[in-house]
Amino acid sequence: MNGIDRLVCHETPGATLLASLSGGRLVEVAVATKGHADLTGALVLGRVERFVPELDAAFIDIGAARAGFLRRTDMVGFDSEPPQAGLPILAQVTRDALEDKGARLTMNLGLVGRHLVFHPHGEGVQLSRRMLDDAARERLLAAVGDVGADEGGWVVRTAAAGAAREAVISEGQALLVRWDGLRTRALAQRPPAVLAAEPHPLLKAVRDRGGTLAEIAVDDRALALQARRALDSFEDRAELRTVIGNGDVLDTHDVAGQIEAALRDHVVLPSGVELLFEPGRTLCAVDVDSGSAGVRQGQGPRTPLDVNLDAAEEIARQLRLRNIGGIVVVDFIDMRAPGDRARVQALLAERVAEDPVPTQVVGLTRLGLMELTRARRGQTLAQAIEAFEHANEAHEAGPEGAGRAR
């Protein structure tokens, strides 16, 4: 799968829906409701509620319905003694609250820019593993050294590979200024408080997608203006289109149709290969069927290897699109040759490696089922679309409707 090159943003009074596409195919869907702020990435000033030795972790009051969870391994400055109740803690949300679990926190803060991430409590310089050009690595290491930071660590992002030296230095210095401002605010605030949150989902995507974007379609003029300013600040050349109409922007690249298809359990590939997704509370089962593979092209039946290779490509895409987390078990078409099984596993591992959510291919069980694990990150696609619809229904119904929706 190529990188994300198009964004389609549908803005309503109740929620935002952001679709990310690659070559016209839907890759991810993010939903943010106006009634609930996603705290992922936010810097918060919390207060220790209690430390639980059995968990080797602390519960932190961050002003949310449930206390945040801070493991000892994610603490900074508490190597010998655990934090005491009532102590203020400056932390970052790595995962927003999910169902019956509070937000996951870390004190290893990261201030994110287009080219760099500054870690105030880190040290040294790390470069993206995708940056393979030795000349670029040397140039960027020198640029970070010229930022002039007395402390902290840096991560050089993939987007910095083609950036001018001056742009990298300027962003690094801006991140240092931002950190100074956050420290000042933390000293002046009383916990719990949110000191800094991530920007609007569209603006965050513009920042994080580097210069790979070719097109952005949005149906809100004020948001389009903000996106234009962000693009100009990064000197991006993406085409920005404003599509005004009741959801008409979702007709761009048939985003609405692709979302509808991704909500179905049954997927039929152009080759005729069929996939059946059966999500459950503990795991998701995926069944692969040869279906009409080969017949549609007027050819004879395809081999099990061909069918499974097609399926592996699409399964990796669907797991990311549907945002399926936890254990995944795939029942591929039986393959007798060990070499064929290895090829399918290798392709699946290669494709899921492109997923920003940690995903691991464990291997084949004795029954011939392929096992995977994918970290849980936020809502599934079905849950996100349901939240989007409920937020808009509640807004249309007014305060009384909003109360019923809850």
Task: Check if the beta carbon of residue 220 is closer than 8 Å to that of residue 246.
Answer: no
- 3-class SS letters over 288-354: EECCCCCCCCCCCCCCHHHHHHHHHHHHHHHHHHHCCCEEEEEECCCCCCHHHHHHHHHHHHHHHCC
List the single range of 18-22, 268-272, 358-362, 399-403 with lowest mean pLDDT: 399-403
71-92: pLDDT as tens digits:
999 999 998 899 999 999 999 9
Q: Report how far residue 93's alpha carbon sits from residue 44's, in angstroms, rounded to the nearest whole number.
A: 7
List the single range of 44-53, 123-132, 200-209, 390-399 with lowest mean pLDDT: 390-399
Averaged pLDDT, 377-406: 78
Q: So what's the pLDDT on residue 298? A: 54
Q: So what's the pLDDT on residue 144? A: 94
- Stronger pLDDT, 65 or 401, i.e. the higher one: 65
Averaged pLDDT, 141-165: 90
Q: With bands split at pLDDT 50, 70 and 90, how would you rate the model's confidence at 130?
A: confident
Q: Report how far residue 90's alpha carbon sits from residue 106's, in angstroms, rounded to the nearest whole number.
A: 9
Inform me whether the pLDDT recorded for 405 exceeds 70: no
Highest mean pLDDT among 123-132, 140-149, 174-183: 174-183
Inform me whether the pLDDT recorded for 62 exceeds 80: yes
Percent of the chain with pLDDT over 90: 75
Inform me whether the pLDDT recorded for 401 exceeds 70: no
Q: So what's the pLDDT on residue 159? A: 86
Inform me whether the pLDDT recorded for 293 exceeds 70: no
Q: So what's the pLDDT on residue 260? A: 97
Average pLDDT, the chain: 91
Q: So what's the pLDDT on residue 207? A: 93
Q: Report how far residue 187's alpha carbon sits from residue 195's, in angstroms, rounded to the nearest whole number.
A: 11
